[in-house]
Copies of this chain bind each other. A is one copy, B any other.
Amino acid sequence: MTSPVSSKSDPATEALGFAAHDHDHCVETAMAAAEARCNAEGLQFTPVRRKALEILLQEHRALGAYEVLDRLRDAGFGSQPPVAYRALDFLVANGFAHKIERLNAFIACAHPGTSHSPVFMICRLCDSVAEASAGPTRGALGQAARDAGFQIERTVVEAEGICPACSEKAQA
């Protein structure tokens, strides 16, 4: 096994929501679901877009646009920034992926299909990212908005800290 040492690790054994899982299977099912939804809604799930989503799903972590671009180039697509940004824009606009503002990076949605306001937990030690789901108008934000007369259209909720795995490691 290579480099069990520090932060980055093998996606197949790494956290999805900080929990181990059958990675190949989850990629396949997510791709199939995306395929189906694009068909149903008349969205053009073109090769670049498909590949971009596959890249995000494979990694199961937040990738910068240029990392995605590198992999798209390797797969034979264009090599200029707009190629990646356009594919990512499509994925984000249609809920297949999210942008993590804190990291300027993108990640495949962990709860696709459902309309949701994502909530992210970002481990500062291993860079893993878990996605939870939350109603948009609940909690402190919704209250503050109502008090102020502010109409929320979109929310960014991201927590930075230590994931369970790194927490255990630190104790040992």
Contacts and interface: CB of A to CB of B under 8 A. Distances in A.
Interface stretch (A61-69, A74-82, A153-161): A153-161
A130 B150 contact: yes
Nearest to A156: B158
B151 A162 contact: yes
A40 interface: no
Contacts of A33: none
A159 B149 contact: no
A18 interface: yes
A149 B164 contact: yes
Contacts of A139: 134, 138-141
Counting chain B CB atoms within 10 Å of each CB, the highest count among A132, A145, A159, A160 belongs to: A159
Contacts of A135: 140
Given A138-B139, A139-B140, A102 B161 contact: no
A95 interface: no
Interface in A99-135: 101-102, 119, 121, 123-124, 130, 132, 134-135
B140 A167 contact: no
Contacts of A162: 150-151, 153
Contact of A148 (B102, B132, B145): B132
